[in-house]
Structure 1
Amino acid sequence: MNGHRKQRISDAFGAAAGHYDDHAGPQRLAAALVADLAQRQRPDGVGRILEIGCGTGFLTRHIQARWPGAELVVTDLSPDMLARAATGGLVAGTFLAMDGEAPIFEGEWFDLILSSLAFQWFDDLESAVARLAGLLRPAGSLLFSTMGQGSFARWRSAHRAAGLSAGIPDYPSLEALRSILARHDDAFAFDEEYALPCGDARGLIAHLKGIGAVVPSEGRKPLPPRDLRRVMAAFEEGGGDDVYQILFGRVTRAPVRSGGRPPLKTPPAP
């Protein structure tokens, strides 16, 4: 894993922690849908939940409301985001600074592993999904949302119109995610589109800065001002608004077939 890039991502989101909520419309909607899907999957019988990439706590608060009796472990790459989610007494749980792609846990510990809009920052999505699925107890589920290939399509198109390539990371298509999840016995994926009304190019840039999504693809550098002005002009000629394509995925482990459910164990100390 690229430790330098992960640190840049952590720093960028940490810098945005104080004003993230003011810019995070699609993020709120995606978190609510992940929570709804998880509740349909496991409405009860949930002993322990792991959240990956809590941000300021949109999904965390949904989890607490739906499974108030469960033991909750909340993690984020950014200590500042983690602290933001933990403030105010809105949720109770264990809060750990952790790279969700390299969890500190081993073995079958969790009934639910939930994440909303964090997996797009992983270096290797396929390996990360397999690693997290390995932490599920029998009949446990991993449910997540992540950015899809169609996100910021108009901003990308504006770059192409200017003869340039956007620094926004390359997100997977729905077909690619389904291919990754097909390696698991019980899995599915679907997508949703969320409008991003930003008015003009400055509005889009303000949105990206506001949520901390400012670390470009590996090896990419910021555009020179002249090129950026060309892209902004092309974007505004195309309407000035954009869209999120958000992919949702679920992986469920097979239940115990005989001998009953194994006892709940205590995870190793962090």
Structure 2
Amino acid sequence: MNEGRKQRISDAFGAAAAHYDDHAGPQRFAARLVADLAQRQGPSDAARILEIGCGTGLLTRDIQARWPGAQLVVTDLSPAMLDRAAAQGLVGGTFLAMDGESPPFEGAWFDLILSSLAFQWFDDLSGAIRKLVNLLTPGGSLIFSTMGERSFGQWRAAHAACGLEAGVPDYPSLAAVRAMLAAYDDSFAFDETVALDSGGARGLITHLKGIGAVVPGAGRRPLTPTQLRSVMAAFEAAGGADAYQILFGRITRAGDGR
């Protein structure tokens, strides 16, 4: 695990906490759909719920509204994001700064584990999913959303047109996530495309900075000002619009503990 990069991610999201919600349209959509899936596909009597990557609490508040009697453990890599979620005053539970790839829990404890748009920051997605499934009680469900490979496709294409590589991290394909989930008997995955109405290149950059998604993929270097201007011009020439591909997945742990 790249501890230095994880710290940069934590710091970037912490710096964005105060204004994150102003830029979080796709994040709201994803959080709401994760909660809807959990209510339809997860255990109806969930007593213990773990959230991975709470951010400012978009999903957290929905969880508590739907399962008001559950014991809720809310986690995030960024302490500042945790503080923001807890400060809303509408959520009760245990708030814990934690890397979702390295949960400090042991054994089958949670009836429901939920996460929205956090898994894309993991170094080992398949390994993290395995660890989280092992924390589920028999019949419990892991339900999550994460970024898909077609996210920011026009922004990536603008970089390629300039002979450059975008700093946006590489995200998995829907087929790759389905292959990971195929190891579990009761699972599925699907995707949704969410248009990003950001208002051109400057708007896209503002959006990414606003949500704290500014740490480049491993091995990527920031663009020089001249390179950035070229990429922005290419992006505008191609229409100046982009989208999220959001992948959703669910795994329900079998009664035999698999």
TM-score, normalised via structure 2 length: 0.98
Distance 1:142 1:43, change over 3 A: closer
Aligned partners of 1:226 and 1:27: how far apart in 2? 31
- Could you say which residue in structure 2 is the equivalent of 1:148? 148
Q: Over residues 65-94 of structure 1, what are the superposed CA-to-partner deviations in whole Å (9 max), with x where a residue is unaligned?
A: 000000000000000000000013111000
2:66 paired with 1:66: yes
Say whether the 8 Å CA contact 1:139–1:256 is kept in structure 2. no
The one-letter amino acid of 1:11's match is D
Query: After the TM superposition, which segments of 4 or more aligned residues of structure 1 sit over 4 Å from their partners?
Result: none
Alignment of 1:47-66 (within 5 A): 47-66=47-66
Aligned partners of 2:114 and 2:26: how far apart in 1? 17
Say whether the 8 Å CA contact 1:48–1:71 is kept in structure 2. yes
2:235 paired with 1:242: no
Q: Over residues 241-264 of structure 1, what are the superposed CA-to-partner deviations in whole Å (9 max), with x where a residue is unaligned?
A: 11000000011111369xxxxxxx
Three-state SS of the structure 2 residue aligned to 1:69 is coil
The one-letter amino acid of 2:158's match is A
Three-state SS of the structure 2 residue aligned to 1:209 is helix
- Could you say which residue in structure 1 is the equivalent of 2:224? 224
Three-state SS of the structure 1 residue aligned to 2:33 is helix
Say whether the 8 Å CA contact 1:146–1:248 is kept in structure 2. yes
- Could you say which residue in structure 2 is the equivalent of 1:124? 124
Aligned partners of 2:191 and 2:95: how far apart in 1? 30
- Could you say which residue in structure 1 is the equivalent of 2:209? 209
Say whether the 8 Å CA contact 2:35–2:59 is kept in structure 1. yes
- Could you say which residue in structure 2 is the equivalent of 1:268? none
Say whether the 8 Å CA contact 2:43–2:140 is kept in structure 1. no
- Could you say which residue in structure 2 is the equivalent of 1:112? 112
Three-state SS of the structure 1 residue aligned to 2:88 is helix
Aligned partners of 1:88 and 1:117: how far apart in 2? 20
2:215 paired with 1:251: no
Distance 1:43 1:125, change over 3 A: closer
Give the greater-gyration-radius structure (CA): 1
2:135 paired with 1:138: no
Runs of 5+ in structure 2 lacking a partner?
A: none
TM-score, normalised via structure 1 length: 0.94
Runs of 5+ in structure 1 lacking a partner?
A: 258-270
Identity, in percent, stands at 74
Deviation at 1:44, TM superposition (A): 2.3
Deviation at 1:200, TM superposition (A): 1.3
